[in-house]
Amino acid sequence: MTRFRVAIQIVPRRGLLDPQGKAVSDALHTLGFATVGDVRVGRHLVLDTDAEHEQAARDSVKRMCEQLLANPVTEDFHIDSVEHA
């Protein structure tokens, strides 16, 4: 078994309202960043897991996203990187 460090990005699906992103955009305008447009706020997870090889780690993390980490109705997830930890 090898230890892998996996980075995952989970973002609200395009087209859905993102209230947190809207709040951040408004706050940036208030601070004077007038050129800021759309802001989307998602989650960035970094997790360590043991697996036989990289593809096994990737498959396992995909199942974690589907079962717990991402909301399948409102969010998209993307496995950004899988590296030896």
User: Are 82 and 53 within 8 A, CB to CB?
Assistant: no
Min dist CB 73 to its own copies, Å, is 19
Binding its own copies (rule: CB under 8 A), the pick from 36, 53, 55, 71 is: 36
How many residues bind to its own copies according to rule CB under 8 A? 35
**Range 42-71, binding its own copies (CB under 8 A):** 42-51, 60, 63-64, 67-69
Min dist CB 25 to its own copies, Å, is 7
- According to DSSP, the residues that pair with 73 across neighbouring strands are none
52 burial via Cβ count (<10 Å: 0-12, 13-18, 19+): exposed
